[in-house]
Amino acid sequence: MNLFKRSRQAVIALASITLLTGSAYAQGTSRLQFASDSGGQVHIMPLASDTPTLSNLAVDNGPLIYNGGPIMPSANIYAIFWIPNKLQDGSATGVSSNYVPIETAMLSNYAGHGLGANNTQYNQSTPAAYVSNKGSLAATYTDTSPYPASGCTDSATPGGCITDAQIQSEVSKVMKKKHWKAGFNNIFMLFTSSGEGSCVSGVCAYTYFCAYHGFFGSASNPVIYSNEPYGDTVNCQKSGTPSPNGDAIADTAATAASHELTEAITDPELNAWYTSQGNEIGDLCAYKYGTNGWDGALANQMWAGNNFELQEEFDNHASGCVQVGP
């Protein structure tokens, strides 16, 4: 067994130890939830190669169970693109030419379309509310300021790495600058550029996760956020998946962003909707795309004239993964 495999097994074993005591998840149940740097928790999107093994995903057939926490009644999305000129080691960084347009097009059209419609079956008890499938891309901001000194080491990205605390700090900085507000109807999605890694609770981008979501601040007025590392077509996409926009990196990032957005809507504080195994709505359908009925079989979603290849999401009514909800 090579060193990478041994280290992966060690990290997986560590996962059951690092879950926060008192979590709604049973200790050791979820391999996808980790302590955040602010004392809360985050829930990760696994690598494509790990979906058969992590958290019993190969045999977890649902259903999603309500555990008493809040949902996001609507989703106003604030996208932050952190794109400096250089990584921490001085090497160049950036994004593909279509990266920002593809991500913003997907986020702009998420509400009111197929995947968003599926969310409307999920609710909260106090105060009584269902997901509405309403919202918008409320604002975007491109930050070209330098990355801070690396606070972690991600073996997949030797040029630089930021911690969860540094991610939260960037979100807070932009919120203050742009006068954006916290709350259950707002989510802040941070997209980073090529070669920039990130780690939380000892696990890192591209070697354990592709993205994650969580919250910080007050539980009654949370900052709901997601970490969206640069698209990785090797570790964060299934081989042979088509690229409807001719930019495989951006298309890979779009499906990861839809995964995290859907999970944040249905489980923003990680205590609402998940299975008995601790898996969320997107985990059960990660890297599953269904039928490609658009753009010459290159896309499974067409929203307002824009084509996307986005993973399906779990439907409790259908007891399976769907492209369009009830």
The per-residue pLDDT for range 269-323, each reduced to its tens digit, is 999 999 999 999 999 999 999 999 999 999 999 999 999 999 999 999 999 999 9
Residue 19 inside a domain? The answer is no
Identify the weakest region by mean pLDDT among 18-22, 108-112, 223-227. Answer: 18-22
**Total residue count of the chain as it appears in this document:** 326
Residue 15 inside a domain? The answer is no
Residue 53 confidence (pLDDT): 86
Cα torsion 250, 253, 259, 265: sign = negative
6 pLDDT higher than 70: no
Identify the weakest region by mean pLDDT among 5-19, 94-108, 277-291. Answer: 5-19
Q: What's the distance, CA 26 to chain centroid?
A: 22
Residue 16 confidence (pLDDT): 33
Residue 14 inside a domain? The answer is no
Residue 11 inside a domain? The answer is no
Residue 2 inside a domain? The answer is no
Confidence (pTM): 0.91
Question: At residue 28, what is the residue type?
Answer: G
Residue 20 inside a domain? The answer is no
Residue 192 inside a domain? The answer is yes
Domain hosting residue 199, numbered range: 33-322
Q: How confident is the model at residue 201 (pLDDT cuts 50, 70, 90)?
A: very high
Q: Is 315 helix (H, G, I), strand (E, B) or coil?
A: strand
Count of domains forming the chain: 1
C-alpha distances out from residue 238 to 48, 49, 289, Å: 6, 8, 10
Cα torsion 12, 13, 16, 17: sign = negative
